[in-house]
């Protein structure tokens, strides 16, 4: 039956769809209908266009929109995909299931999680909630919080879930103290989650896989519903996501995956590049298409990126090319330290601004979030607007999390983490001892603390026989809390979520908490108002439904989803956060050894390959101009002298223009967005050594010493000096100002 259906679709003539703008390889990917399809889509090769046109082609070929599932990794990408499909096909395409892995998993779990003994009103625990619950689990099993890092344990549990390892399976394969201890914590952590009717992000996909494997009717229902599956950014999938897709596609075999192994940069959070590299072996009948024409970047940027990525071992063979002009060379900026580096980049911003370039078209990319500090400081001083991706996201701000905790405690009375948060904001006379007794009392009676305080307030006959373990004072405090929660429960049945937020702030006493912060009261109130506005968007769904929908969506928001593309501001972000974005101009800063590539990658070839892929991603974000900077000194980063990244050495010299700190200044750089000159040409390092081994030299800080080694590098002359007082130091001659001692 499945074969006949696929044959019918394969032979059906599709409706009219203007595909004149597609190249030959894009045509192949779009026109493929049945069977597995692997699309290697290089950076800037029109991947999103191919996916959206393919969905439109399927609909025109007779596939019902609700039988199509398109999965990606961010809400931003999902929304863009959905909008483009509607533009191509019309409102009939609104029935296509487009969303993130976690978003799709959430819909499945709301419908079917009862098969696993959970209730459909479960709470989604984010990373902060997980950490709090890990700490509680550690305390429960008698492991001190200083004995082992709770954050490390949380990450280990997440990795186990990404590999579909249950607490029992993880315990069986654990080796050494850390894993054996983590196994104990994992087991208790999962029990706490179950008691609280909660799931974390790792559970969401893993539970779906479990449902597909254990409950045949659930698997059949969703396989029949999702007959055609498309997965974007397939190189970023972990094992759980791979099995999720494989189980869904098993019945019909119509699986299309799109990705680029050269952009696989998330192994640290479980992504396995082998999923895309082994696709042909896993699906022997698959069709393979390579999209190698780049529509984004200039020839120079593309050639530079190809030079870096070409040294990665085991990659799928492909070479990106473009019909665009070569454009400007890569500008390499040498700075003295991070402050000097920021000053250079600010100069670049001003010069570009003088050419009427929009600031929103410029990004500053770095390896780690900590590197943003000097750029933020100089932009503030100079009045240059910027937006920071990866800062404290809206939904992680304290007052936002506080109000959300109230909403979650109302939506799910068993939610332990949310309940314990609202106990103390505002203070309610419930101390740590009382809370611990409450938790033990609840667990001993198969209840949650939130349920018991409601019972204490309402004196529900259904819980008669329970012996109150609290003194009069504690009983009074817990009863008052129960009355407040009971009142909010009633209001949640009457009010949509936007109005409920306003009532919660008043009824809970949280308005006093906000007013009691004299330094940030206005800012915190503004965040609560913004939360209320966001929640109000769901008010047309009705009281309880609006509450559940809003909490689900809020839990799945990523920081990059909130990137304000309409604001004329420079974007500051990490190379990881930059993936999927593009800018006219990119400044990649901190391009030094031990920084990029990161020092942690030195002893692991696989990690060094991933650092190369990360550099490739950063480069290919740029459409017109690419600047790269490095410093000779960086506070708090080891050796007194820094060295340019090996990735710079990979870029052919003829594609670079070099600028040193000494030979640059405001107004020396002239760049036109549609073509221009870069001046001055870079000064070259000396052709032969200035200082010789055995010479005695004097340094202004380190004193006198003996030169024991030296070399000419691509950028400078380097010498190693044994100083009498401070020992061995490696110095850059252009900065050291060494004096020969005769």
Helix (H, G, I), strand (E, B) or coil at 102: helix
Q: Order of strands, edge to edge, in the sheet holding 727-732?
A: 727-732, 717-723, 703-712, 696-699, 739-740
Please answer whether residues 628 and 656 qualify as being in contact, where contact means their C-beta atoms are separated by less than 8 angstroms. Answer: no
Say which residues have a Cβ less than 8 Å from residue 548's Cβ, sequence separation at least 6.
Answer: 121, 411
Active site residue 47: yes
From 72, 190, 235, 263, active-site residue: 263
> Both ends of the chain: CA-CA distance in Å?
93
Active site residue 720: no
Helix (H, G, I), strand (E, B) or coil at 22: coil
Task: Give the chain's radius of gyration (CA, Å).
Answer: 29
Active site residue 232: yes
From 112, 126, 129, 232, active-site residue: 232
What Å distances lie between residue 14 and 48, 92, 192, 611, CA to CA? Answer: 21, 15, 52, 44
Q: Where are the alpha helices (DSSP H) in 292-415?
A: 299-309, 338-353, 373-382, 398-411
Instruction: For residues 123 and 100, give the distance between their C-alpha atoms in angstroms, rounded to a whole number.
Output: 18
Instruction: For residues 608 and 523, give the distance between their C-alpha atoms in angstroms, rounded to a whole number.
Output: 43
From 621, 623, 634, 659, active-site residue: 621
What Å distances lie between residue 143 and 138, 183, 202, 435, CA to CA? Answer: 5, 12, 23, 20
Instruction: For residues 303 and 297, give the distance between their C-alpha atoms in angstroms, rounded to a whole number.
Output: 10
Q: What is the 3-state secondary structure (H, E, C) of 217-242?
A: HHHHHHHHHCCEEEECCHHHCCHHHH
Active site residue 48: yes
Please answer whether residues 594 and 648 qualify as being in contact, where contact means their C-beta atoms are separated by less than 8 angstroms. Answer: no
Active site residue 18: no
Burial category of 569 from C-beta neighbours within 10 Å (exposed 0-12, middle 13-18, buried 19 and up): middle
481-487-488 Cα angle (round to 5): 90
Which of 579, 585, 531, 569 lies closest to 360, judged by CA? 569
Q: Which residue has the tokens 């099993």?
A: 141
348 Ramachandran zone, left/alpha/beta (phi>0; psi -120 to 50)? alpha
Say which residues have a Cβ less than 8 Å from residue 701's Cβ, sequence separation at least 6.
Answer: none
DSSP codes, 480-528: HHHHHHHHHHHHHTTS-HHHHHHHHHHHTSHHHHHHT-TTTHHHHHHHH
Side-chain half-sphere exposure of 285, counting CA atoms within 13 A: 6
Catalytic residues: 47-48, 232-233, 263, 621
């Amino acid at each position: 039956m499945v074969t006949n259906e696929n044959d019918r679709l394969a032979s059906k003539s599709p409706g009219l769809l203007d595909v004149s703008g597609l190249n030959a390889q894009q045509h192949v990917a779009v026109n493929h209908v049945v069977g597995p399809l692997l699309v290697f889509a290089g950076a800037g090769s029109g991947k999103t266009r191919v996916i959206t046109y393919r969905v439109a082609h399927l609909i025109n070929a007779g596939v019902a929109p609700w039988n199509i599932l398109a999965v990606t990794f961010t809400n931003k990408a999902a929304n863009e995909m959905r909008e483009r499909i509607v533009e191509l096909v019309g409102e009939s395409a609104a029935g296509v299931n487009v969303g993130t892995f976690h978003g799709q998993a959430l819909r499945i779990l709301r419908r079917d999680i009862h098969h696993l003994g959970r209730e459909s009103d479960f709470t989604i625990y984010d990373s902060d909630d997980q950490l709090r619950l890990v700490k509680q689990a550690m305390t429960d099993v008698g492991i001190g919080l200083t004995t082992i890092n709770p954050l490390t344990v949380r990450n280990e549990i997440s990795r186990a879930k990404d590999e579909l390892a249950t607490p029992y399976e993880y315990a069986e394969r654990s080796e050494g103290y850390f894993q054996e201890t983590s196994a104990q914590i994992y087991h208790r952590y999962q029990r706490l989650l179950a008691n609280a009717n909660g799931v974390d992000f790792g559970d969401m996909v893993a539970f779906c896989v479990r449902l597909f494997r254990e409950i045949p009717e659930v698997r059949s229902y969703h396989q029949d519903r999702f007959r055609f599956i498309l997965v974007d950014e397939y190189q970023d999938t972990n094992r759980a996501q791979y099995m999720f897709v494989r189980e869904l596609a098993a019945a019909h075999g119509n699986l299309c995956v799109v990705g680029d192994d050269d952009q696989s940069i998330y192994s640290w959070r479980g992504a396995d590049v082998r999923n895309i590299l082994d696709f042909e072996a896993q699906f022997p009948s698959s069709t393979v298409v390579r999209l190698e024409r780049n529509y984004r970047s200039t020839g120079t940027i593309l050639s530079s990126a190809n030079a870096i990525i070409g040294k990665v071992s085991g990659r799928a063979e492909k070479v990106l090319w473009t019909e665009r002009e070569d454009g400007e060379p890569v500008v390499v900026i040498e700075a003295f330290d991070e402050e000097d580096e920021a000053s250079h980049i600010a100069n670049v911003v001003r010069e570009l601004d003088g050419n009427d370039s929009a600031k929103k078209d410029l990004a500053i990319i770095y390896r780690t979030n900590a590197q943003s500090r000097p750029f933020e400081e100089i932009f503030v001083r100079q009045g240059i607007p910027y937006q920071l991706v990866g800062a404290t996201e809206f939904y992680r701000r304290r007052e936002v999390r506080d109000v959300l905790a109230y909403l979650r405690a109302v939506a799910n009375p068993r939610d332990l983490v949310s309940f314990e948060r609202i106990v103390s904001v505002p203070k309610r006379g419930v101390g740590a001892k009382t809370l611990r007794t409450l938790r033990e009392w609840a667990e001993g009676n198969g209840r949650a603390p939130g349920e018991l305080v409601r019972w204490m307030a309402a004196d529900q006959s259904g819980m008669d026989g329970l012996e109150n373990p609290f003194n009069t004072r504690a009983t009074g405090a817990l009863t008052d809390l129960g009355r407040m929660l009971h009142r909010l429960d009633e209001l949640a049945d009457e009010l949509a979520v936007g109005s409920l937020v306003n009532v919660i702030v008043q009824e809970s006493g949280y308005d006093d908490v906000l007013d009691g912060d004299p330094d940030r009261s206005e800012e915190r109130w503004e965040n609560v108002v913004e939360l209320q506005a966001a929640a109000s968007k769901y008010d047309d769904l009705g009281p309880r439904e609006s509450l559940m929908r809003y909490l689900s969506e809020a839990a799945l928001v990523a920081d990059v989803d909130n990137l304000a593309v309409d604001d004329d501001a420079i974007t500051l972000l990490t190379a990881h956060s930059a993936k999927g974005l593009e800018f006219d101009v990119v400044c990649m800063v901190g391009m030094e050894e031990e920084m990029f590539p990161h020092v942690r990658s030195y002893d692991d070839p696989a990690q060094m390959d991933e650092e190369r892929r990360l550099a490739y991603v950063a480069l290919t974000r740029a459409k017109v101009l690419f600047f790269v900077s490095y410093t000779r000194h960086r506070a708090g980063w080891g050796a007194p002298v820094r060295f340019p990244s090996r990735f710079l050495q990979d870029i052919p010299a003829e594609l670079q223009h070099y600028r040193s700190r000494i030979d640059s200044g405001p107004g020396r750089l002239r760049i036109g967005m549609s073509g221009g000159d870069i001046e001055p040409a870079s000064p070259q390092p000396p052709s032969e050594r200035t200082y010789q081994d055995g010479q005695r030299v004097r340094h202004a800080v380190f004193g006198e010493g003996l030169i024991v080694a030296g070399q000419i590098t691509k950028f400078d002359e380097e010498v190693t000096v044994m100083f009498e007082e401070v020992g061995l130091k490696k110095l850059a001659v252009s900065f050291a100002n060494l004096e020969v001692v005769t």
